[in-house]
Structure 1
């Protein structure tokens, strides 16, 4: 057995376990095999390549799809890629890819002339728009709030095909973002740092669904939590949920651990870092690694020391230091051990993906061009399936 076969076998074993714990996709796979909604269609994907994603790709392939896929920077798991390649899928990327190589992988997927896009951060949508290939795309899905913002702002009026934004779904907001991300971010913080949660002071930047979940699970473990939120209604909600609420600059001196979850760039800047106590820990839970201004932080540091693969100590000119987790990338996909949201949360989110892609493939005339939420009838059907799979009806 060569090294590649051993890696693929390892990936297959991990996927086998995870597949057995994703009942929603298990239920839809034989349905897709019968309906074949993606026959003759190529799906271009840019999404974190890990075992749960592999189960999603298997489901889409069962529906007749040809897959051309790449992961997101820094989160690709090589054993999963090796297994998918052995199955005959065209999968690009590796864990150690540079940013330039990752950009080339995204470009290759976009340039493969996909009929449907399964996007994460609107990278593929931007690529097909920039290269003039958008007219040949039937439509797609976008996983993230960050990607939805790009579609509605940066790419507004330039995307001629329908894109269902999965993070606009109330079902996903509750199931995957609030509970999935909330649980996985706190679990990852504990696993990476081995720090105590009870009694420690946390600042969560952003009180969208992910921020709500992170704050909820931190408090459930005994953390003291404050919320920084500029939207008046979300700040109102956070206050009534019992959190201290203020602007980030006013919370910087109080906090010990700072977690961003806004989907927008430039949240933790030099000005904010200058107000933090010595030893403050910085983590990002948003899709893009832009919420913490890492480039500026590193540029003005006196030394950056890698403690381990997911922890860096950044010494500052005034003698203080801060601790940066995962280089500012998504903290719940970093470090050793299990990564990402729970299996059940991702099963829910990926069923939203599969049925939304089916709607785009088979009934595009029912959808308008541009970004839009998951159709209501799909949300309600998936909610029924999830309650049944969870056993909450028994």
Structure 2
């Protein structure tokens, strides 16, 4: 088995991490038992570009028990947990090509190593693997999944341009993914990453959240819950209106840049915090990103204008501006929750990765029936995941009577 990781001797600690995650992922473990018994993926080759965390480790173990052969690389150069990578190699026969702190060349070299395994199904987080496959004209892939908003946007663009070569399940679009992972997962873990990097007090700080999608909603809500005075910057008028009605101050980046203490980007777009905005910021402003790629803050432009910089704490870089003010860039502008923290809590990834596991099985079973398009997760999978999670929490929900089911289908009865 080929692999390239930091250090195989980390494997025992990684196994403990996987055990801890498993205790908090009961829905996926329930699915794992079924898949281990049925072996629906026996002999299927899978290539996955995902954050190599303990939660991803549980997903990889699940797919291995379902019979799949797996090669795994990281979807972010700073998101790999090296002990988990070692445990997957040593104890679960997963070919891992990932370590924390990869440079750009190593990152793409690891993706290329996955494709040397000739995968039939690919799993991606952000779209880099899908794009790489299409750019190189690889033709043996029968289908794939996509974990996050950024990747789904890229795949939709490929579909609209008529270049998408295989069906992709947009796992991000499942209700049990984006309503929970994006909002509660990133909402909590982004702040966790900021606090691990800085150990600052949120209460009383002016916190600027750039973007009010599901990720931005979660971050804004939790910053407010910690006592932050939250400002939302949003270009979409409907989302801006919603943020306003939720009680947040809403303004543009030009004005917000002058008064913010902490900035968190969550847009999926480029240079939403520009060097012009940074030059407006007060001394001591903190810059962080919760979007998938490190393009939301103009890090390259910031480095060009910087008088000096130094690492003052792990994942915290102090940068002196031409006017003498200092700003603090967290995690090099990359995903702060995964670079400076551990990513989402296991409980919320239980939902996302249950969708991933079932979607891969669905893809394999439906490979001859699906055309090259982006598909939502089938509603029966979404509902199954929700029911499994509720059951694991000891929650019993209401059951409709036959009369109620029939009533909901009719159109004749009114007042």
Give TM-score scaled by structure 1 length: 0.95
- Which residue of 97, 100, 112 corresponds with 1:92? 97
Matched, 1:44 2:47: yes
More moved, 168-177 vs 208-217:
168-177
Deviation, 1:170, is 2.2
* Alpha-carbon offset, residue 18 of structure 1: 1.5
Number of residue pairs the alignment of both structures matches: 389
Which ranges of structure 2 fall in alignment gaps of 5 or more residues? 1-5, 398-415
Question: Equivalent residue of 1:317, what SS?
Answer: coil
Report the alpha carbon displacement of residue 309 of structure 1 after superposing the two structures with TM.
2.2
Aligned with residue 152 of structure 1, among 152, 156, 164: 156
Question: What residue number does 2:83 align with?
Answer: 79
Q: Which stretch shows the higher mean deviation, 205-214 or 383-392?
A: 383-392
Q: Of residues 220, 242, 248 in structure 1, which corresponds to 2:253?
A: 248
**Cα gap change, 1:243/1:141 in structure 2, threshold over 3 Å: closer, same or farther?**
same
> Where does 1:311-326 land on structure 2 (aligned, <5 Å)?
311-326=316-331
- Which deviates more, 359-368 or 222-231? 359-368
Query: Which residue of 342, 347, 355 maps to 2:358?
Result: 355
Task: Give the superposition deviation at 1:4.
Answer: 5.1
For the residues of structure 2 that align with 1:75 and 1:352, how far apart are their CA atoms? 21
Partner residue in 2 for 1:258:
263
Cα shift at 1:153:
2.4
Q: 2:227 aligns with which of 193, 210, 222?
A: 222
The alpha-carbon distance between structure 1 residues 245 and 118, as it changes in their structure 2 partners (threshold 3 A), is same
Query: Is 1:376 aligned to residue 379 of structure 2?
Result: yes
Q: Is the 8 A contact 1:110 1:127 kept in 2?
A: no
Deviates most, 108-117 or 261-270: 108-117
Query: CA-to-partner distance for each residue in 1:304-350, whole Å, 9 max, x for gaps?
Result: 11112210011111111110000001111133xx5111111011110
Aligned equivalents of 2:8 and 2:215: distance in 1? 38
Q: Aligned with 1:391: secondary structure?
A: coil
Instruction: Identify which range, 67-76 or 57-66, moves more after superposition.
Output: 67-76
Deviation at 1:272, TM superposition (A): 1.3
CA distance in 1, matches of 2:169, 2:238: 25
- Maintained 8 Å contact 1:225/1:244: yes
Distance 2:190 2:311 in 1: 21
1:247/1:366 Cα in 2 relative to 1: closer, same or farther (>3 Å)?
A: farther
2:7 and 2:320 map into 1 onto residues whose CA distance is: 40
Q: Secondary structure of 1:305's partner?
A: strand
Counterpart in 2 of 1:101? 106
**What's 2:411 paired with?**
none
Structure 1: gaps spanning 5 or more residues: none
The answer on 1:299 being equivalent to 2:304 is: yes
CA distance in structure 2 between the aligned counterparts of 1:316 and 1:4, rounded to whole angstroms: 39
TM superposition shift of 1:366: 4.9
Other-structure match for 1:63: 66
**Aligned counterparts of 2:229 and 2:158: Cα–Cα separation in 1:** 37
Partner of 2:193, secondary structure, is helix
Distance 1:146 1:105 in 2: 21
> How does 1:202-221 map onto structure 2 within 5 Å?
202-221=207-226
Counterparts of 1:387 and 1:125, CA distance in 2: 33
Q: Once the two structures are superposed, what CA deviation does each residue of 1:277-315 show, in whole Å capped at 9, x if it has no partner?
A: 111100000111111110110111010111122100111
Provide the rounded CA distance (Å) in 2 between the counterparts of 1:307 and 1:393: 50
Other-structure match for 1:117: 122
C-alpha distance 304-4 of structure 1, shift in aligned 2 (>3 A) = closer
Aligned match of 1:177: 182
Mapped partners of 1:21, 1:309: distance in 2 = 28
* Shift of residue 372, structure 1, vs aligned partner: 2.6
